[in-house]
């Protein structure tokens, strides 16, 4: 009986392995009934690495159902992300577990592409884990973002094709009260630890709650999917779903948001800090240094960044004066071209801010203007890029309830797997603060060849692991978008002096950020000094400047990434043009910059140098 049992076990092992041979008894083989099974094959370094990437992707999709749905994965569509303190801490512990597994992958056995993926994966997880100590997750509400804004947009980027999609949608809405409870717990803990946003940056938030809770306010968008249901959902079922939405789901959302709004006004805002500098937070100096490293992907100090900003402001100011003197404004300037630069500059800014010729009269006219610019740019793209994305994009207004405290525009990525185009959102609030001369650089930045082209191309890099097509480094993405504004020169979009001044205005805006961000968070600048510096050096409207300064206050370091990234890309292009001479191809250069997805600036420099040498020595793969 014992011998037969052992033979049965051995035979079952062979059957399980699915790979056996009838001869040989090599080392590590199992022998049974004249056959041998080779020892299990050890996975290669590449297989181990990519298995870890797949495991991490599965974990991310489980943790973040909204992200999964944007990718077309609706397996957890009835859930919301758990934002309890325990769940957040556990996610950081999980990231540490992935890092430990990564450390045992034989790095030297990987090829060049997989080594880069290894390095980027390690870097992103390490930076996230390092950031946990600063506990920014205890500040989930802001003027430009927050739990309340996300709730109001829960019907967007979500499919509604069948009964299950509607049932899952209502289930998510009915989980909003739990989400609000968790959010309030985070904010209370933030108050206890002294980790809150500056109070001034939340000034517009009470009005956002008021707008959301009005009968036709921001929450009205949640009802849009319930109006026109697909034929697959029968008439009786449609009535049942609508009744559930009106009597259960929507009241749950409204009640939870009202409770959050009351808490923000009655308890949170009075307890938020008066100070605006990052160094006033616990471990504030270390936190700001961390933010600058992670946002710029460099080791530049606040002092270095501040001085770089001042230098760029001076350079751009000189170019602005040249454009002013070439404009027809000089025909009306009373002191003529001989006037002092400061006097002339101030007079020109006043002219730009007050002359009706520079402003649209309706929101639809503004949006039509942006769409026209975008379509004109589309025709230029094949001249500048060898690779173009398949995913299209559209232009839409920023939702009314959040527009007063939002910046001029922003981009939201789409995903072909979820049948969602990218979206360039433009702010139509306060039209007298949205001048025409800023529209070309803004469209180039947010849509093409800026954010949409770069993000969509990255999503379509089929030969890279998932995280490399979706994760982004701020200095790369924002640096590329700012560089894209300058490409308008090559497209002939800035032949009009006022449009060219708009380009310089936007470049000046980003240079001012280097000065203002570091001034506030490292050198103790008060808010008004930051506002005055930008009013003096740019033609941005006062509303835009105040909104922008509050953004820098609430998001330390992020604003520094734009100019630092753009300057690096321009530096690399000049290097390529100088070394390659007649062999320089702008389309190939842009493809080299974008062809690895979003990467740190140090990695980008190595990639471009490799591309240059590959052309010089003809060995680029």
Q: 426 forms bridges with which residues in the sheet? A: 397, 409
Query: CB of 414 within 8 A of CB of 393?
Result: yes
Interatomic CA distance for residues 595 and 612, integer angstroms: 14
Tens of pLDDT, residue by residue over 117-172, are 999 999 999 999 999 999 999 999 988 889 999 999 999 989 999 999 999 999 99
pLDDT at 20 over 90: no
Interatomic CA distance for residues 335 and 343, integer angstroms: 10
pLDDT at residue number 335: 58
pLDDT at 466 over 80: yes
Tens of pLDDT, residue by residue over 230-268, are 998 999 999 999 999 999 999 999 999 999 999 999 999
Band the pLDDT of 7: cuts 50, 70, 90. Answer: very low
Query: CB of 161 within 8 A of CB of 572?
Result: no
Average of per-residue pLDDT across 519-527: 97
DSSP H or E segment with residue 348: helix 341-354
Mind spelling out the 3-state secondary structure of 365-397?
A: HHHHHHHHHHHHHHCCHHHHCCCCCCCCEEEEE
pLDDT at residue number 40: 83
Band the pLDDT of 203: cuts 50, 70, 90. Answer: very high
Interatomic CA distance for residues 508 and 312, integer angstroms: 8
Band the pLDDT of 25: cuts 50, 70, 90. Answer: very low
Average of per-residue pLDDT across 391-413: 93
Give the largest CA-CA distance in the chain: 113
Query: CB of 157 within 8 A of CB of 418?
Result: yes
Query: CB of 273 within 8 A of CB of 196?
Result: yes
pLDDT at residue number 216: 87
Band the pLDDT of 405: cuts 50, 70, 90. Answer: confident
Q: What share of the chain has pLDDT > 70, as a percent?
A: 93
Tens of pLDDT, residue by residue over 418-456, are 999 999 999 999 999 999 999 999 999 999 999 999 999
DSSP calls for 164-196: HHHHHHHHHHHTHHHHHHHHHHHHHHHHHHT--
Interatomic CA distance for residues 238 and 225, integer angstroms: 11
Query: pTM value?
Result: 0.89
pLDDT at 387 over 50: yes
């Amino acid at each position: 009986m014992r011998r037969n049992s052992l033979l049965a076990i051995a035979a079952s092992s062979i059957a399980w392995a699915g790979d056996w041979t009838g001869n040989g008894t090599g080392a590590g083989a199992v022998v049974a009934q004249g056959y041998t099974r080779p020892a299990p094959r050890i996975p290669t370094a590449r297989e181990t690495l990519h298995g870890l990437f797949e495991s991490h992707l599965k974990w991310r999709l489980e943790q973040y159902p909204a992200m999964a749905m944007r990718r077309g994965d609706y397996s957890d569509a009835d859930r919301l992300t758990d934002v309890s303190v325990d769940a957040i801490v556990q996610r950081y512990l999980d990231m540490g577990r992935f890092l430990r597994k990564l450390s045992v992958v034989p790095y030297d056995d990987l090829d060049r592409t997989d080594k880069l993926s290894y390095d980027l994966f390690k870097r992103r997880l390490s930076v996230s884990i390092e950031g946990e100590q600063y506990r920014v997750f205890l500040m989930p509400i802001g003027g430009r973002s927050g739990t309340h804004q996300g709730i109001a947009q829960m019907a967007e980027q979500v499919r509604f094709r069948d009964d299950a999609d509607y049932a899952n949608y209502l289930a998510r809405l009915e989980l909003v009260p739990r989400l609000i409870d968790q959010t309030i717990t985070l904010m209370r803990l933030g108050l206890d630890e002294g980790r809150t946003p500056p109070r001034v940056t939340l000034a517009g938030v009470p009005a956002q709650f008021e707008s959301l809770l009005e009968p036709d306010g921001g929450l009205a968008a949640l009802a849009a999917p319930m109006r026109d249901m697909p034929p697959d959902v029968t008439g009786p079922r449609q009535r049942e779903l609508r009744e559930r939405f009106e009597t259960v789901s929507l009241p749950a959302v409204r009640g939870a948001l009202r409770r959050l709004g009351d808490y923000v006004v009655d308890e949170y805002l009075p307890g938020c800090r008066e100070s605006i500098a990052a160094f006033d937070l616990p471990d504030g100096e270390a936190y700001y240094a961390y933010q600058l490293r992670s946002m710029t992907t460099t080791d530049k100090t606040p002092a270095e960044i501040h001085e770089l900003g001042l230098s760029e402001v001076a350079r751009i100011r000189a170019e602005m004066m040249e454009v002013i003197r070439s404009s027809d404004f000089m025909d009306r300037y009373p002191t003529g071209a001989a006037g002092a630069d400061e006097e002339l500059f101030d007079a020109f800014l006043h002219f730009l801010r007050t002359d009706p010729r520079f402003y649209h009269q309706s929101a639809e006219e503004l949006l039509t203007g942006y769409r026209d610019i975008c379509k004109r740019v589309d025709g230029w793209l094949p001249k500048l890029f060898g690779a173009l994305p398949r995913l299209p994009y559209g232009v839409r207004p920023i939702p009314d309830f959040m527009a007063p405290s939002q910046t001029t525009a922003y981009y939201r990525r789409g995903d072909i797997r979820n049948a969602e185009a990218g979206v360039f959102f433009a702010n139509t609030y306060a039209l007298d603060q949205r001048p025409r001369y800023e529209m070309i650089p803004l469209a180039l930045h947010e849509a093409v060849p800026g954010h949409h082209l770069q993000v969509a191309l990255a999503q379509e890099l089929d030969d890279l692991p998932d995280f490399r097509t979706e994760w982004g480094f701020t200095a790369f993405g924002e640096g590329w978008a700012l560089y894209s504004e300058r490409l308008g020169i090559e497209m002939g979009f800035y032949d009009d002096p006022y449009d060219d001044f708009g380009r310089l205005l936007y470049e000046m805006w980003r240079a001012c950020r280097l000065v203002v961000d570091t001034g506030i968070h490292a050198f103790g600048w008060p808010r008004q000094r930051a506002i005055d510096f930008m009013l003096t050096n740019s033609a941005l409207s006062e509303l835009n400047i105040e909104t922008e300064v509050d953004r820098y206050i609430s998001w330390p370091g992020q604003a520094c990434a734009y100019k630092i990234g753009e300057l690096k890309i321009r530096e690399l292009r000049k290097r390529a043009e100088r070394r390659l001479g007649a062999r320089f191809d702008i389309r190939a250069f842009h493809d080299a910059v974008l062809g690895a997805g979003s990467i740190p600036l140090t990695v980008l420099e190595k990639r471009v140098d490799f591309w240059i040498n590959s052309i010089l020595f003809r060995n680029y793969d």
